Amino acid sequence: MELRKNYFADVRKDGLHEIGQPRPRLDSPGHVTGKTAYFADRNFPGMLHLKMVRSPHHHARIRSIDTSEAEKHPGVARVLTAKDVPHNVYTILILIQIGPEDETVLADGKVRWKGEAVVAVLAETERAAQEAAAKVKVDYEVLPAVFDMEEALKPGAPLVNEHHGQNYYLYDSGECRKVRFGDVEAGFAMADHILEQSYQSSPIEHAPTETTGCVVAPEGNDRFTCYTNTQAMFFTLDNTSIILQMPGSKLHFVGGTVGGGFGGKVDVIVEPIAILAAKLTGRPVSFIYSREEEMQVSSPRAAEKVVIKDGVMKDGRIVARKVTGYTDAGAYSRHSPYGAQKGAAHYPGPYTIPNVWIDTYCVYTNRTPSSAMRGFGVTIGDFALEVQMDKLARLIGMDPLEFRFINAYRDGDMKAHRQPTEGAALIECMQEASRAANWPVAEKYMAMSSYRKGA
């Protein structure tokens, strides 16, 4: 690896001992010897296995649930329904005051997506739990469902989630997150060209090799040790404390070793119900998603739709950008109100544009609830923005890399959210990319710097 020392020569420090040197990973010796302890490597005598009965419908009212046959099945220790969960309606981000609580641990009266948890069955073996789960009878009245964000926002669309009252998340700023900077209509009026394009993406599953799960052991002192592969240890502990109405001091979470997460293990899904089961049975409980559950039930990256309208001058300056973003939360919020908000913060991209208007909506549909995944709220936006940048460059007959130099943000520039730019390095990255990719740009761009004179 070669370090180019000509960039930021005045601020760089060269007395570093670690950069550029290989350092062994602390966890590798455990990995290569098979000694690393993942949550499922814990095994306790008398452990029960939890299997979930899930909704086969996208949207339905539950008329009745009959667990009597399942309870009588050999090997079954306990069957749990909504009434067993102390605080059944929750939302993860309530910890940072982002409500309302809108999701059930076990469905109560209604299911809002295909795969929603309805009844938990606990048995001596996985097989017995599967057999008993097949004997749970749920009588559903199927309701109209909506799967498309724009359909969901239309008047008269089926209401997905009564806790919201409408099919979008109501921010303190209203029906969407908004950014207003300059006068976007004036910018369009002065532009030489206007380009409006629409971009969309499908949900993406993280597909970690280790599926989501936890193993819970009741301790003698009325505490519960939860071995989990959560990526959000304290979020999970605190939410479990709320859901189970149990002081956090009763909960001991052991984790940190995750067999692939990529953001897919930040939801609070398996731990509360498994700890509740351990509490009600007094026995250790294992709840591990099957591969099918991991692929179909765990939260994916949200589907997104991004509409970008840009005004651009013949000389390459973007003078106005209007973005409407839609994030498909699925049936419940989880982390999606935050994801949509991140989009609002991100959409101008790393470019200095004097007139910006952004609206981002978090929309509810009867799809699998989405949540975090590597740069959620940003990644799909970047795809849309950079494809848009190439199209704009083509529209005005300019080299796409030079077009980005013209619009790149530099130190001191005011961003659309009224934060002055600091520590920018986009110009230097593009200069290096120009060399590495053998994509030459005019000398004046190679002479640019992220520092503006006088900044």
Partner 1 sequence: MAKVPVQFTLNGSEKAEFVESGTTLLHALRDKIGDTSPKGGCHQGTCGACSVIIDGELRLSCLTLAETCNGTDIKTTAGLAEGGVLHPLQRAFLDAFATQCGFCTPGMIMAAKVLLDRTPNPSREEVIEALSGNICRCTGYEPIIQAVLTAARANSQNAA
Partner 2 sequence: MSLALRTFSSVKDANTALQVSGTRYLGGGTLVIRAANEGDVSVSSLIRVTDPGLSQIAVSDDKVWLGASVTMAAIARRPELAALAPAARAVGGPAIRNMATVGGNLFATAPYGDFAVALLALDATVATEDGEMPIETFLAGRDTSRAIVTAVGFSLPKAESFRFLKVSRIKPKGISVLSIAAHLQRTVDGSVTSARIALGCMADRPMRAKAAEKALLGCKLTPQEIAPALAAAVEGIAPITDPIASAWYRAEVLPVHLGRLLLT
Instruction: List residues near partner 2 by CB under 8 A.
Output: 51, 74, 125, 127-128, 130-131, 133-134, 290-292
Alpha carbon distance 306, 384 (integer Å): 7
CB of 279 to partner 1, least distance (A): 23
Residue from 165, 260, 420, 440 touching partner 1 (CB under 8 A): that is: 260
- Closest to partner 1 by CB, 39 vs 113, is 39
**Residues 410 to 429 in contact with partner 1, rule: CB under 8 A:** none
CB of 121 to partner 2, least distance (A): 11
- Residue 424 has a CB neighbour count (10 Å cut-off) of 21
Alpha carbon distance 418, 437 (integer Å): 34
DSSP 8-class letter at 165: S
Q: Which does 249 bind (CB under 5 to 8 A by kind): partner 2, partner 1, none?
A: none
Alpha carbon distance 180, 54 (integer Å): 43
- Residue 234 near residue 266 (C-beta atoms within 8 A): no
- φ, ψ for residue 86, nearest 5 deg: -55, -50
Check residue 233 for interaction with partner 1 (CB under 8 A).
Answer: no
CB of 127 to partner 2, least distance (A): 5
Using the CB atoms, write b or e for 173-185: b if 16+ within 10 Å.
eeebbebebbebe
Q: Which does 258 bind (CB under 5 to 8 A by kind): partner 1, partner 2, none?
A: partner 1
- Closest to partner 1 by CB, 34 vs 155, is 34
Alpha helices in 113-159 (DSSP H): 126-133, 149-153
Check residue 25 for interaction with partner 1 (CB under 8 A).
Answer: yes
Residue from 12, 28, 150, 433 touching partner 1 (CB under 8 A): that is: 28
Q: Which does 131 bind (CB under 5 to 8 A by kind): partner 2, partner 1, none?
A: partner 2
Q: Which does 30 bind (CB under 5 to 8 A by kind): partner 1, partner 2, none?
A: partner 1
Both tokens of 51, joined, read 């299997």
Q: Which does 247 bind (CB under 5 to 8 A by kind): partner 1, partner 2, none?
A: none
- Residue 405 near residue 448 (C-beta atoms within 8 A): yes
Check residue 210 for interaction with partner 1 (CB under 8 A).
Answer: yes
CB of 295 to partner 1, least distance (A): 10
CA distance readout (Å), 392 to 321, 375, 427: 12, 25, 19
- Closest to partner 1 by CB, 286 vs 360, is 286
Check residue 256 for interaction with partner 1 (CB under 8 A).
Answer: no
- Residue 188 near residue 286 (C-beta atoms within 8 A): no
DSSP 8-class letter at 65: E
Check residue 290 for interaction with partner 1 (CB under 8 A).
Answer: yes
Q: Which stretch binds partner 1 (CB under 8 A): 79-87, 203-211, 349-357, 398-406?
A: 203-211
Binding map of partner 1 across residues 268-287, x = CB under 8 A, - = no contact: --------------------
Q: Which does 433 bind (CB under 5 to 8 A by kind): partner 2, partner 1, none?
A: none
- Residue 400 near residue 393 (C-beta atoms within 8 A): yes
Q: Which does 35 bind (CB under 5 to 8 A by kind): partner 2, partner 1, none?
A: partner 1
At 81 the three-state DSSP class reads coil
DSSP 385-420: HHHHHHHHHHHTT--HHHHHHHHB--TTPBPTTS-B
Alpha carbon distance 425, 183 (integer Å): 28
- Residue 270 has a CB neighbour count (10 Å cut-off) of 31
Residue from 207, 307, 395, 429 touching partner 1 (CB under 8 A): that is: 207
- Closest to partner 1 by CB, 122 vs 426, is 122
- Residue 153 near residue 167 (C-beta atoms within 8 A): yes
At 322 the three-state DSSP class reads strand
CB of 265 to partner 1, least distance (A): 11
Contact residues for partner 1 (CB under 8 A)?
Answer: 22, 24-25, 27-38, 40-41, 43, 125, 127, 206-211, 258-262, 288, 290-291
